Structure 1
Amino acid sequence: MEETFPHLNIQREAPVNEKRPGGNPRTAPPDDVPSHGRGLLGKLANATREASEDIGGFDERKLFRFTVQKGFNPDDLRKISTEIEVVSQEDETVIIGFATNAAMAQFEARLASMASGGYVTNKEVIYALQSVDGWSPEDRKSWALKQHGFPDDEDFLLDVEIWPLEDRPDARQQAWDKFDSWLSEQRIEKLDQVKKPELTLYRLRCTAAQAESLLHHRDIRSIDLLPSFALERSIVFQDIQQFPEVQAPPAQAPGVVVLDSGIADGHPLLKAAVANTASFLPGEGPHDENGHGTHVAGLALYGDFEKHLRAGAFTPTLRLYSGRILDRSNENTTGFVENHIEEAVRHFVTEHGCKVFNLSFGDSNKPYFGGHLKGLSVTLDTLSRELGVLFVVSSGNHRIGEGSPDGLEWRDQYPEYLLNESWRVIEPAPALNALTVGSLVRHTQTYNSQRYPLDPAEIPIAQAGQPSPFTRNGHSVDGAIKPELVAHGGNWAIHARANYALLDGLTGLGVVSTGLQFADGRPFQVDAGTSMAAPQVAHLAATILHEHPDATANFIRAQLCLNAAIPQASQHLFEKNKALSRVCGYGEVDETALKRSSENAVTLITESRIENKRHHFYEIPVPPDFTSGGKKRLREIAVALAYAPPVRSTRIKYRATRIDFKLVAARDLEHVTTMFNKATKKDDYQSIKELAGATIGQTARSKGTVQADSWKFFQFNSNSALRNKKLFVVVTRNDFPWGESLCDSEESYSLLVSLRDKQNLSAQLYTQIKARLDARVPVRIRV
């Protein structure tokens, strides 16, 4: 067995240099300035009439939708009038604001002066304005509501979000009180609510007439149908008595928490590892009445459950926790799942010190098409930062028949349809501080194909190692890579003799795990979906804590992505890497070097804190043996960084700060620090060339809060940068102006670097790198 070693710590170099940002770009004047003013005057008049049709409101101001040029700073609207309050940035060009009549009269006067060719102060702000409108009833409709309309029932449930007033607690409380009173006056029943500075949601029971009133209420941001969860499942019959009795894991074993429909804690393969179960669903106990939670729990506890099943032995190394948040239909209609999840997470963190949480469900009524994130994503991102926990969530499954192929098209159009808009990730998969997991295929033979090997009728859609036919694609906010990882979740097939009918995971193409009906002699269950992929990654995340018990959630995220790679079978499915990352992210986790290093695969680790507009520099010791040898062989350098920024749902950029890295070659530390100090503007910084050959590239990876990339080398010539220069990772922080007050003076991050020479069995990378690190003279780092 190959000898392994602890990962090595790396220290940053002494210089900590300021990153001086450039000023905002100036807005070019329109070709015809008076005509621009006249156009805005007309739109302002229409917008004022439209805003006057709104009902309700906690004060007398009107709500306006300002359409601006891309890159416009929303706070600059206050240059028009200090009585305009920016409420939210809905996308890159739409800003919502409250304005008094006096403010709009002042604005109208400026536009009239511009239209007549007169002088206007702060004219660049008006140059950047493209339109002024009201926030219409259509704007308040969610994607699901636009697709399906209101339910046909006499009364029905809706989820309503009102505008968050994040910076004004007094006004926020006033808005809550006034809206509660209005609901009572309208006889609209309030069933539950989420009231936070960054998110205010109401679950309401109303009639069609009352719903129409809601669409016209000024303080309402959006109206949505209730969450919709879709699952498929099957049971595998097998005698569990053949397996040895499962022993409990050590008392100090790390824990993994499954937030789902509960678990069957008496299952023979689970009960020895169950540490605590609790229900956070009002009126329900912790026991699983659906089966989904039990199936997910087996994967979270054992990871590759099928491997253990084939080996005939199950030895849990983790402690299993279960928080029930879903009912027997795998739904949550008693209240907001956001509240139940928060209660569960705080319980398991406070009472049991848990750090890794699995959420294998998604709201198919909320695909992410861009713009601001909603309820559960915001909740997970906020809890991730506050409590230092890691959420592993599924990317979501596409439903059959909703914009999906028909018959033979499933196979013939694969994988192109995976990139369709209707295949976008669903809530809470876009959450930036969580790890999102998509699905890969493992099996290609149905039960019938195995039984009748000469019959070609049942045709798999995808091959092993390729994305599952149902897995959803990204990206998330601002183009962040989602999902970040993929794991086995199942396959589908078509039946050539039955009009190409679709055969899902129930036919033997899914993932096997523990089943709810164990007492009836059915201890195993097969299901297909990204719900099965996520807990396998949650298992890996928790096992990192064996070797690194104090690891932060940032470290775990970075470590998983550092050791991920796109499966060979998927690498050439799409013409562009960008398309591949939308479906597979950084790839599938390779467990080989996840917890410890070896002589030919070395991981360098550090945890640090960085101030705004600063660079941190790390020299990476590359031994001569890494670049030696004339024979071609694969060598690789990988880098991963993770941080958990504060978020704001009223800004399109969402994360308050940006921390990213670049891998650069330079003569020495002085040269690399000078290079970055001269990058005074954004374009200058972007123009600093990384080491050539990055798999993802700095622009694409830097959009997320966990970033990973790799550089592959097969041969080094005498001019190679790694032979003639030193290698540095440079970490940079740059807050958005609106986010500076939300961030800590020093923001935490985890950085990991891996050097791999796996085809060289006689490599001594670990020994050589450790000797170089030990020989370095300790330096005092200025902070």
Structure 2
Amino acid sequence: MTRSSSYAYSASDTAGHGTSVASIAAFGDISARVSAKNFDAQFRIASARVVDDRGYFPKNQPVPDLMETAIRQLSRDYACRIFNVSLGNPKKPYRGAKPEAWAATLDALARELDILIIVSAGNRDDLTNSYRDGIVSAYPQYLLSDASRIIDPATAAIALTVGSVAHGNGLEDADEELAGIRPICGFEEPSPFTRSGPGVRGMIKPDLVDFGGNAVWDGPTGGLVNGNQKEAAGIWAMHHKPIEKLFRSRSGTSFAAPNVAYKAALLLSQIPDASANLLRSLLALSANIPKAVTLRARGLNEKTAPMVCGYGIPNAEYAVSSDDGRVILLAEDELLLDHFAVFEVPIPTEFQNTKGTREIRVSLAFDPPARHTRADYLGVTMGWRLVRGTDEAAVFDRYRKWTKEEGKPPEFPQRLVCPTDVGSDQRESGTLQVGTYRGKQDITKYGDTYYVAVWCSRRWAPATIEKQRYALTVQLRHENLTTLYQTLSQPIKLRA
């Protein structure tokens, strides 16, 4: 909540929101932890209280300033690298203008401190009044309406914005005998209350989704019931009054976000020196939009699904390691503004000609300067192309000419560019850009080396900013190839 308040702060978590969020950030899937009887803590949680016992911000300090003070102190005193912000302003859904000061402050801090900030997309709390029992038939199309847009500060361009998908249909066994209780969605479909994009400049927002509970229509009471009231409709979290009860169920993007924070922490524990850009790039590289999202009749399609689910649910294990049929390549670097870099991607013969679906996924993350006072929010833009059937000299020659000219980077002939599920125009509007090439045909004619051409363009960035940091990750995957990992020894860094 963002309503100002002079209400006193207390040492205890009266509402329980913070305890629920922190428990998921610390342990991930609480239900799985209970089943495994394992609550060994892998991470330390440092928290900063910014709202009072009723969830309101104080009157005497602007919210952006308060958040900046808290984040800087946690970074300075505890060396925190990952920040979860499960707060937002429901009165400020994004309407296509410039981001608010809160979002811009988070972006500025993410860039300056090289930290990963994770923000919840926000929840719709007007669904009962807006749809009544018609919500079942209105779902999921209403998720694309203006009323379902992400709220401040989820518009932050560098922060990871997280929406929610359901862990199940939200029904208990006893509900089968009650005709008035109706599920709205099922496993891995967008939660009824989650919010959608696009974000600033039309970028894909939310960036990712994770399990955040569900809600069901309760005909007898004439309302929508979520996991905060109905156990089966929520994911598990720890209770803020453990003497009375150890666990409670929860629904909301507030609880999806710490699931991603937990996965980011797992990744950071394996790559301690990883930049925030690399963490973002790897998490997005590992993500997939659940198949259930596009299977529903009159549901979301491949074009609209990213506006609700971003790049999908991240997989921490996939993000940090390769396996027999899947290899991850990575690079971290800086690029002079208005310059380019070209990276070689080795394509083994078996990957080219073995029958089955092959996949090349590219993920680019960068942290440009951003200002909410400017109509053009990002001071630097970047982009990439996956090129095949040519050689290094030809790729370099094409981009060398661009560095001497103004305007957009040159395009390659269409036959040389790998088509991807997310097109370049949509990708390049954001600071996290993921695209996947998939195919089943033999690709031997294109050779054993592909190239990722990465470019960087100055917009309004001041002359004092000469370079842009970025992380580039590439995943090769083949459904029928079990020797890919052996062929490409790990770890491999992309060759520039």
Check whether TM > 0.5. Answer: yes
State the percentage of identical aligned residues.
Answer: 31
Looking at structure 1, the residues matched to 302 and 398 of structure 2 have their Cα atoms a distance apart, in angstroms, of 29
Give the ranges of 4+ consecutive aligned residues of structure 1 lying more than 6 Å apart after TM superposition: 771-774
- Aligned residue for 1:364? 90
- Aligned residue for 1:748? 469
Looking at structure 2, the residues matched to 772 and 286 of structure 1 have their Cα atoms a distance apart, in angstroms, of 46
Looking at structure 2, the residues matched to 753 and 547 of structure 1 have their Cα atoms a distance apart, in angstroms, of 18
1:739 aligns with 2:461: yes
1:716 aligns with 2:438: no
| 1:759/1:295 CA distance change after superposition, 3 Å | farther
Looking at structure 2, the residues matched to 677 and 358 of structure 1 have their Cα atoms a distance apart, in angstroms, of 41
Looking at structure 2, the residues matched to 377 and 688 of structure 1 have their Cα atoms a distance apart, in angstroms, of 38
1:627 Cα deviation after fit:
1.7
1:768 aligns with 2:487: yes
| 1:771/1:532 CA distance change after superposition, 3 Å | closer
Structure 1 residue matching 2:388: 3-state secondary structure:
strand
- Aligned residue for 1:549? 272
- Aligned residue for 2:360? 637
> What is the correspondence of 1:247-646 to structure 2 with a 5 Å cutoff?
284-334=9-59, 335-401=61-127, 404-407=130-133, 409-447=134-172, 450-496=173-219, 498=220, 501-505=223-227, 506-507=229-230, 508-520=232-244, 522-573=245-296, 574=299, 576-630=301-355, 633-646=356-369
Structure 1 residue matching 2:162: 3-state secondary structure:
strand
Q: CA RMSD in A?
A: 2.5
Aligned amino acid, residue 535 of structure 1: P
- Aligned residue for 2:420? 694
1:592 Cα deviation after fit:
3.1
Structure 1's unaligned 5+ residue stretches are: 1-225, 230-280
Looking at structure 2, the residues matched to 285 and 302 of structure 1 have their Cα atoms a distance apart, in angstroms, of 25
Aligned amino acid, residue 378 of structure 1: A
- Aligned residue for 2:431? 705
Aligned amino acid, residue 186 of structure 2: Q
CA deviation string 1:474-509 (max 9, x = no partner): 11111111100000111111134x375322222221
CA deviation string 1:241-268 (max 9, x = no partner): xxxxxxxxxxxxxxxxxxxxxxxxxxxx
Looking at structure 2, the residues matched to 284 and 684 of structure 1 have their Cα atoms a distance apart, in angstroms, of 53
Confirm or deny: 8 A CA contact 2:388 2:418 kept in the other structure: no
| 1:715/1:358 CA distance change after superposition, 3 Å | same
1:748 Cα deviation after fit:
0.9
> What is the correspondence of 1:12-161 to structure 2 with a 5 Å cutoff?
none
Structure 2's unaligned 5+ residue stretches are: none
Confirm or deny: 8 A CA contact 2:267 2:320 kept in the other structure: yes
Looking at structure 2, the residues matched to 423 and 455 of structure 1 have their Cα atoms a distance apart, in angstroms, of 30
Looking at structure 1, the residues matched to 310 and 490 of structure 2 have their Cα atoms a distance apart, in angstroms, of 35
| 1:678/1:392 CA distance change after superposition, 3 Å | same
Looking at structure 1, the residues matched to 412 and 353 of structure 2 have their Cα atoms a distance apart, in angstroms, of 30
1:658 aligns with 2:377: no
1:377 Cα deviation after fit:
0.2
| 1:717/1:339 CA distance change after superposition, 3 Å | closer
| 1:321/1:286 CA distance change after superposition, 3 Å | farther
| 1:286/1:658 CA distance change after superposition, 3 Å | farther
| 1:628/1:327 CA distance change after superposition, 3 Å | same
1:739 Cα deviation after fit:
2.1
Looking at structure 2, the residues matched to 283 and 292 of structure 1 have their Cα atoms a distance apart, in angstroms, of 17
Aligned amino acid, residue 266 of structure 2: T
Looking at structure 2, the residues matched to 729 and 685 of structure 1 have their Cα atoms a distance apart, in angstroms, of 14
| 1:687/1:650 CA distance change after superposition, 3 Å | farther
1:710 Cα deviation after fit:
1.3
Looking at structure 2, the residues matched to 411 and 552 of structure 1 have their Cα atoms a distance apart, in angstroms, of 43
> What is the correspondence of 1:167-206 to structure 2 with a 5 Å cutoff?
none
- Aligned residue for 1:227? 2
TM-score, length-normalised on structure 1?
0.59
Confirm or deny: 8 A CA contact 1:621 1:772 kept in the other structure: no
CA deviation string 1:172-205 (max 9, x = no partner): xxxxxxxxxxxxxxxxxxxxxxxxxxxxxxxxxx
Structure 2 residue matching 1:404: 3-state secondary structure:
helix
- Aligned residue for 1:667? 390
Confirm or deny: 8 A CA contact 2:353 2:443 kept in the other structure: no
| 1:683/1:725 CA distance change after superposition, 3 Å | farther
| 1:403/1:372 CA distance change after superposition, 3 Å | farther
TM-score, length-normalised on structure 2?
0.92
Aligned amino acid, residue 519 of structure 1: I
Larger gyration radius, structure 1 or structure 2 = 1
